[in-house]
């Protein structure tokens, strides 16, 4: 079996956190896409009004297809953010940015009253052991690469299939940085963040309020 049925089920369950007149942040990735589809149907069926802020063009297009009311700036606070994660450690820290939307995702999560994360059980680890995406201004690609290497990372510029650099929707590049096993994510996040030219780090230390864990048998767990 695959995770698809579990992700569909949990995206339906997560609708219980949606209320009339809310401002909702829409994250990126597979689970977030499933949630946007569920949200579109729910809003239409129940005739409620919500304003949504998407973190990527992919999610924006999905939300437009579902005729959701979209905003392009954070006015004040966001009531709730629904997002995915590339990894979740035992302390509920997150690695995000596999799709390249980490800067926008962190803006929304930082402004949110409630954060709901949806991921399959393969994303849960004791300590982070995957590359950390770092969004960098193109001007700083060489200096940031050297600085990250000095603190123990192995940065590689993210590229597209043809070898061209991946460019974020903000016009920046991504360095995917291998730090092996990460036991102190907050300290590492702060070190990387202090490097000139670094705009965002894919280690998110704000703990989610709710985590949905999709299981392969089609069920899901809810972690609070």
Whichever domain contains 156, its CATH number is: 3.30.70.260
Is 105 labeled as catalytic in the residue annotation? yes
SS3 221: strand
User: Read out DSSP for 21-80?
Assistant: T-EEEE--SHHHHHHHHHHHHHHHHHT---EEEESSHHHHHHHHHTT-EE-SS--S-EEE
62-96: b or e for each residue (b if 16 or more CB lie within 10 Å)? Answer: bbeebebeeeeebeeebbbbbbbbbbbbeebbbbb
pLDDT tens digits, 160-196:
988 899 999 999 999 999 999 999 999 999 999 999 9
Domain count across the chain: 2
Catalytic residue (choose from 62, 64, 105, 190) = 105
Give me the residue label for tokens 């946007």. Answer: 36
CATH number at residue 211: 3.40.50.1360
Q: What is the mean pLDDT of the chain?
A: 96
Q: Are residues 62 and 146 in the same domain?
A: no
Q: Are residues 23 and 77 in the same domain?
A: yes
Q: Are residues 108 and 216 in the same domain?
A: yes
Q: Are residues 174 and 97 in the same domain?
A: no
pTM given for the model: 0.94
Q: Are residues 26 and 119 in the same domain?
A: yes
pLDDT tens digits, 52-98:
999 999 999 999 999 999 998 998 889 999 999 999 999 999 999 99
Q: Are residues 107 and 12 in the same domain?
A: yes
pLDDT tens digits, 87-130:
999 999 999 999 999 999 999 999 999 999 999 999 999 999 99
Q: Are residues 78 and 43 in the same domain?
A: yes
- Per-residue pLDDT band for 1 (boundaries 50, 70, 90) equals low
Q: Tell me the residue range of the domain where 137 lies.
A: 132-202
């Amino acid at each position: 079996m695959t995770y698809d049925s579990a992700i569909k089920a949990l995206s339906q369950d997560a609708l219980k956190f949606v209320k009339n007149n809310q401002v909702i942040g829409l994250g990126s990735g597979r689970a977030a896409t499933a949630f946007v589809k569920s949200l579109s149907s729910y809003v239409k069926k129940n005739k409620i009004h919500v304003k949504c802020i998407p973190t990527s063009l992919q999610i924006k297009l999905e939300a437009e297809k579902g005729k959701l009311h979209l905003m392009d700036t954070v006015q004040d606070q966001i009531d709730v953010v629904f997002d995915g994660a590339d990894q979740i450690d035992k302390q509920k820290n997150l690695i995000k940015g596999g799709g390249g939307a980490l800067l926008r995702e962190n803006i929304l999560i930082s402004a949110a009253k409630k954060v709901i994360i949806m991921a399959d059980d393969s994303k849960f680890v004791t300590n982070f052991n995957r590359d950390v995406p770092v969004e960098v201004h193109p001007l700083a690609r060489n200096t940031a690469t050297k600085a990250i290497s000095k603190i123990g990372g192995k940065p590689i510029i993210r590229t597209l299939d043809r070898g061209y650099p991946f460019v974020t929707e903000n016009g920046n590049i991504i360095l995917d940085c291998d730090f092996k096993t990460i036991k102190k994510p907050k300290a590492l996040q702060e070190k990387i963040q202090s490097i000139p030219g670094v705009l965002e780090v894919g280690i998110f230390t704000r703990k989610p309020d709710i985590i949905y864990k999709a299981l392969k048998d089609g069920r899901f767990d809810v972690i609070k």
